[in-house]
Amino acid sequence: MIRERAYPVEPWHVRETRLDFDVLAQSESVFALANGHIGLRGNLDEGEPHGLPGTYLNSFYELRPLPYAEAGYGFPESGQTIVNVTNGKHIRLLVDDEPFDVRYGDLISHERVLDLRGGTLDRQLRWRSPAGRLTRVRTTRLVSFTQRAVAAICYEVSVDEPSRIIVQSELVANEELPEQSRDPRVAAVLESPLQVEERLVQRDGGLMIHRTKASGLRVAAAMGHEVDGPENISVSSEGVDDWVRTTITCELKPGQRLRVVKLLAYGWSSRRSLPAVRDQVGAALAGARYSGWEGLCAEQREFLDTFWDTSDVQVEGDQEVQQAVRFGLFHVLQAGARAELRPIGAKGLTGPGYDGHVFWDTEMFVLPVLTYTQPSAVAQMLRWRHSTLDLARERARTLGLSGAAFPWRTIRGQECSAYWPAGTAGFHLAADIADAVLRYVDVTCDVEFEREVGLELLVETARLWRSLGHHDRNGLFHIDGITGPDEYTAVVDDNVYTNLMAQRNLLGAADSATRHPDRAFALGVDQEETAAWRDAATSMHIPYDEELGVHPQSEGFTRHDEWDFASTPQDHYPLLLHYPYFDLYRKQVVKQADLVLAMHVRGDAFTHEQKVRNFAYYERRTVRDSSLSACTQSVLAAEVGDLELAHDYLGEAALMDLHDIARNTRDGIHVASLAGAWIALVAGLGGMRDHGGRLSFAPRLPSRITRLGFSLIWRGMRLRVDVQPHEVTYSLRDGDPQAAIDLTHHGEALRVAIGVPVTRPVPPAQPTGPPLQQPPGRAPARRAAKAD
Ligand code: BGC
C-alpha cells in the first residue's frame, strides 16, 4: 500500500518526496495526466524502472476473442481492450558515458509534484552517477486541456562539473508490458498490437503511424523539440521499426542549463486516411509550437482557474480530505474534460484496469458531479451513449427485447462482458443513463439536447423496461431475472434499486415525450405507448419484508442464509477472489451499496423511518468489495444522523487512490470513488438532493469538520453553500439581477436571490434507530480521532 507519509498533506498539491520502487505502479496512476482524450501514466521520463508503462487514447482499442468453455446464445464473441499506444514520454539522459537510471549511482533527492492548479506533473532530482558526476534534472509534463491532441514535456539539465550531455527523446510503439495477475479487474495483455504504417524522421523530431490488427484503428504520434542551452548543441534524429529518436548533444558547464521542450501530438481514426491522420498530428504540433511551452502552461492554468472557481470544495478541519477531494475532482476533470463524444472509463485514462471499459459508474457517480460543475462534459458523454444507440437496439433484439440494451462494459458500444450474470443482466444501466439525462436536463434546461438526444435515450430505455418487465395477474409490474448493483447477488426478481430507477425512467420518458410531441411522434411514440409506460411505473412492485420491517434489496433476499462473517479471514476480502459466486449469490452478503443507493438516488420513495431501519440492516451485511460503495454509505449515514460514520466513509472514498485502499490503484485510479468524495461531501454532509428537479439541502457537519463550502451550477447560476457547525449561508453568483433559486433547507422553503444571501441555523442531528455496525473488520477507518 502507499504509505501515508509518501504524500504529505497540502491543499493544492500531491507531493512525493522520495521514490519508492515498491509503489511505482500505484504512483504512476496517481500521477497520471489526461484530458479525456490523451492519457499519460506517470512513468519516469527515462522509461525505467516502471510499474506499468501506459499511454492511452480514448476509445483506441484492440479486439480480442472471448473464449468460453461453454458458450451460450447471445454471448459476446469479442472483447475490446484499451491499447498502450506509442509512448512519447521517453527522454533518456547520458551524462558523459553513463545513462541516468535511478537504480544506479546515488539518487540524492527525488521529488514529484502533481500541481492541481497548474495541471502539471513536476519532477526534480539530484543524481550522482556511479563515476561521481552530480547532475540536476527538472522536468514538467502536461497534457493540455485547451489543445486536446497535445502533450508536452519541459526537460532541463544542469551539472556541477563540465560534462557531455546527451538527451535521447523517443517515440516508442509496442512496448513490452509486464505479466498481469489473474485478478478479473486487471486488463488482458496484448502482444505487439500495433503494426507500423509510416515512419517519418526530421532533424528535430518525427512521427509514426500504426494500425491495430483486428480493430483496424489508425494512430499517429508526432514529436518536435525546441532546444535551448549552451552553444554548439547538435540535434539529429533517426528511426527504425517501432521507434523514432531525436538526439541532442552538448557540452554543459556549471551554471549553464540545457532545456529541451518536447511537444507531442496524438491523433487516431477508424475512418480517416493515412495522409489525413498524418496531417492532423502535424497541425496539432504546429498549434503547440505556436503557443510554445510558456503559452501551453498559461492556457492550462487559465482553464483550471475557471474550473476551480466553480467546482472547488473547501473542507476545514480535515486537511487530508481537503487534499483528497481536490485530487479527486482533478482526476474527474482529467477523465471527462475533453472526452468529446467518447466514453469516460472506470479508470479514466490512467491505467489499463478493466480493459479501459466504461460501466454504469460513469452515469451514476461521475456524471452527477460533472452535471453541477462541468455540464458541457455531461452532454458530450451522453451524446456518446446516443451515438451507440443502433448497437444497443441490435443487442436488445438479440436478447428478444424492445428498445435499447446498452452494454454493461464496453469501449466502442458493443457488449464486452463475458460473464452475463454480472454483465448483461445488469439492466439497471439503462435507467442509470436515463437518470443522467433527466438530471442534466433539469439542471441545465438544455432543451435542444433533450429534443435531439435526451428524448431518444429516454424512449428507447423506457421501451426496454416495458418489454423486460411484465404485469402479474393483479396488475403489479415486475422486473424479473436481472442483477442489481450488488454483484454478490445475481439474477434476481424485483431488485428495488432497478425497479425504482426504471420507474423514474418510464415516467421521465413519458413526460419528455409530452414536452416534445413532434420529435416523439417521429420516434414512433404514441399516447398508447406513453400510457403503458405510466401504467408500468405506477404499478411497479417494490418488495417489502413486513416481518423485519425492511426492504429486501430484491425479492426473497432477507430470507437467504446469513454469510458467516465471523469465520471469514480478513485476507479473504475481496470475497470474489476467495469464494465461488454460487455461494455468495445465495447468502445475505452485499458487495456494494444497492438498496442503500436506491435510498440516496430515489430517496423520495422511502420514509425517513424506512431509511433508518434499512440502513442499519444493510450496514451489517455490506463488505464494500467495490470502491463504488463508501460514498453512498456516507450519504445515507449522514441522512440517518450518524455524521461521524458519514465522515469515515467520506474519507475512504476520497483516499481510495492516495492510500491505495482497494490495493489495485496500480491498474488505474477509481474515477467513480473519487467523484464519490464530492458526492459524500455535497449530498452527504451538505444533504443536497435533486429529486424531480427541485434542490434541497440538509447540511450538518461531523465533529472534526469546522467548515464546508461548495458551489453548484444550477440553470446558468452559481449557488454557493457555506456550512459551519451551527449555521449555513446560501448565496448566488452569476445570472441576471432578478435571478433567484428556490430551494429547501432542512425542509424549510427558501428563495436565494443575487446579492441577497440567506443564512439559516443548522438543527442538531438526532440519531434514531438501531446502532450501526459493519461486518467484523469491515468498519471504515475512523476519522474523528485523527489529528491534522
Ligand atoms: C463493481 C461494478 C462496477 C465495476 C467497475 C465492479 O467491481 O461491482 O459495480 O461497475 O467494478 O468499476
The model's pLDDT over 100-154, given as tens digits with 9 standing for 90+, comes to 999 999 999 999 999 999 999 999 999 999 999 999 999 999 999 999 999 999 9
Q: CB under 8 Å to 350, separation ≥6 — which residues?
A: 29, 32, 34, 39, 41, 54, 331, 334, 335, 668, 669
Residue 591 is assigned to a ligand binding site: yes
Ligand 1 centroid to Cα of residue 422, in Å, is: 9
Give yes or no for residue 393 having a pLDDT over 90.
yes
Q: Among positive and negative, which fits the CA dihedral 508, 514, 515, 519?
A: positive
The reply to whether 531 falls in a domain is: no
The reply to whether 624 falls in a domain is: no
Give yes or no for residue 630 having a pLDDT over 60.
yes
- CA dist 711 and 26 (Å) reads 31
Given a contact cutoff of 8 angstroms between Cβ atoms, the answer to whether 356 and 82 are in contact is yes
Residues present in the chain in total:
788
Q: Is 487 labeled as catalytic in the residue annotation?
A: yes
The reply to whether 252 falls in a domain is: yes
Specify the amino acid at residue 88. G
Phi, then psi, of 724 in degrees rounded to 5: -120, 170
What per-residue confidence (pLDDT) applies to 735?
Answer: 73
Helix, strand, coil share of the chain (percent; to 5): 35, 25, 40
Mean pLDDT of the chain: 96
CATH code assigned at 163 = 2.70.98.40
Q: Cell numbers at residue 302, please?
A: 487559465
Which residue among 354, 355, 626, 673 is best mutated to probe the pocket of ligand 1, counting the most ligand atoms within 8 A of its Cβ? 626
Q: Cell numbers at residue 316, please?
A: 476545514
The reply to whether 224 falls in a domain is: yes
- Residue nearest atom 4 in ligand 1 by C-alpha distance: 359
List pocket residues of ligand 1, CB cut-off 6 Å.
346, 354, 359-361, 485, 487, 591-592, 626, 628
Give yes or no for residue 186 having a pLDDT over 80.
no
Q: Which is the closest atom of ligand 1 to the Cα of 591? A: 8
- CA dist 786 and 788 (Å) reads 7
Q: CB under 8 Å to 406, separation ≥6 — which residues?
A: 385, 388, 392, 395, 429, 430, 433, 461
Give yes or no for residue 336 having a pLDDT over 90.
yes
Q: How confident is the model at residue 177 (pLDDT cuts 50, 70, 90)?
A: confident
SS3 635: helix
Ligand 1 centroid to Cα of residue 171, in Å, is: 34
The reply to whether 353 falls in a domain is: no
Q: Which is the closest atom of ligand 1 to the Cα of 626? A: 7
Ligand 1 centroid to Cα of residue 626, in Å, is: 6
Ligand 1 centroid to Cα of residue 701, in Å, is: 30
Given a contact cutoff of 8 angstroms between Cβ atoms, the answer to whether 677 and 646 are in contact is no
Which residue among 347, 355, 497, 628 is best mutated to probe the pocket of ligand 1, counting the most ligand atoms within 8 A of its Cβ? 628
H/E stretch holding 124 reads strand 120-128
What per-residue confidence (pLDDT) applies to 1?
Answer: 47
Query: Could you give the number of structural domains in the chain?
Result: 1
- CA dist 38 and 319 (Å) reads 31
- CA dist 244 and 223 (Å) reads 9
The reply to whether 111 falls in a domain is: yes
Whether the predicted model's global pTM rises above the 0.85 cut: yes
412 vs 788, more confident = 412
Domain range for 183 is 31-67+77-274
Ligand 1 centroid to Cα of residue 629, in Å, is: 10
Residue 374 is assigned to a ligand binding site: no
Residue 309's Cβ-count burial label (10 Å; 0-12, 13-18, 19+) is exposed
How confident is the model over 713-725, as a mean pLDDT?
Answer: 96
Ligand 1 centroid to Cα of residue 628, in Å, is: 7
The reply to whether 512 falls in a domain is: no
Which residue among 361, 498, 663, 671 is best mutated to probe the pocket of ligand 1, counting the most ligand atoms within 8 A of its Cβ? 361
What per-residue confidence (pLDDT) applies to 71?
Answer: 86
Q: How many helices (H) and strands (E) does the chain have?
A: 19, 31
- Residue nearest atom 1 in ligand 1 by C-alpha distance: 626
Report the share of the chain in percent with pLDDT over 90.
Answer: 93
Nearest to 389 by CA among 456, 467, 302: 456
Q: How confident is the model at residue 5 (pLDDT cuts 50, 70, 90)?
A: low
Give yes or no for residue 184 having a pLDDT over 80.
no
Q: Which is the closest atom of ligand 1 to the Cα of 485? A: 9
Residue 787's Cβ-count burial label (10 Å; 0-12, 13-18, 19+) is exposed
Which residue among 354, 359, 410 is best mutated to probe the pocket of ligand 1, counting the most ligand atoms within 8 A of its Cβ? 359
Report the share of the chain in percent with pLDDT over 70.
Answer: 98
Residue linked to cell 528511426? 239
The model's pLDDT over 596-621, given as tens digits with 9 standing for 90+, comes to 999 999 999 999 999 999 999 999 99
- Residue nearest atom 11 in ligand 1 by C-alpha distance: 626
- Residue nearest atom 6 in ligand 1 by C-alpha distance: 626
- Residue nearest atom 7 in ligand 1 by C-alpha distance: 626
Given a contact cutoff of 8 angstroms between Cβ atoms, the answer to whether 735 and 755 are in contact is no
Nearest to 254 by CA among 158, 179, 321: 158
Phi, then psi, of 218 in degrees rounded to 5: -115, 135
Q: Which of 16, 170, 487, 529 is catalytic?
A: 487
How confident is the model over 57-63, as a mean pLDDT?
Answer: 98
How confident is the model over 411-438, as a mean pLDDT?
Answer: 97
Q: Which is the closest atom of ligand 1 to the Cα of 346? A: 12
How confident is the model over 692-697, as a mean pLDDT?
Answer: 94
The model's pLDDT over 442-500, given as tens digits with 9 standing for 90+, comes to 999 999 999 999 999 999 999 999 999 999 999 999 999 999 999 999 999 999 999 99
Virtual CA dihedral for 403, 406, 407, 411, nearest 10 degrees?
Answer: 130
The reply to whether 92 falls in a domain is: yes
How confident is the model over 157-181, as a mean pLDDT?
Answer: 93
Question: CA angle at residue 186 from 347 to 49, to 5 degrees?
Answer: 85
What are the residues facing 79 on neighbouring strands?
A: 64
Ligand 1 centroid to Cα of residue 632, in Å, is: 14
Given a contact cutoff of 8 angstroms between Cβ atoms, the answer to whether 244 and 170 are in contact is yes
The model's pLDDT over 498-545, given as tens digits with 9 standing for 90+, comes to 999 999 999 999 999 999 999 999 999 999 999 999 999 999 999 999
Ligand 1 centroid to Cα of residue 627, in Å, is: 8
Residue 361 is assigned to a ligand binding site: yes
Cβ neighbours, 10 Å, residue 758: 15
- CA dist 353 and 276 (Å) reads 31
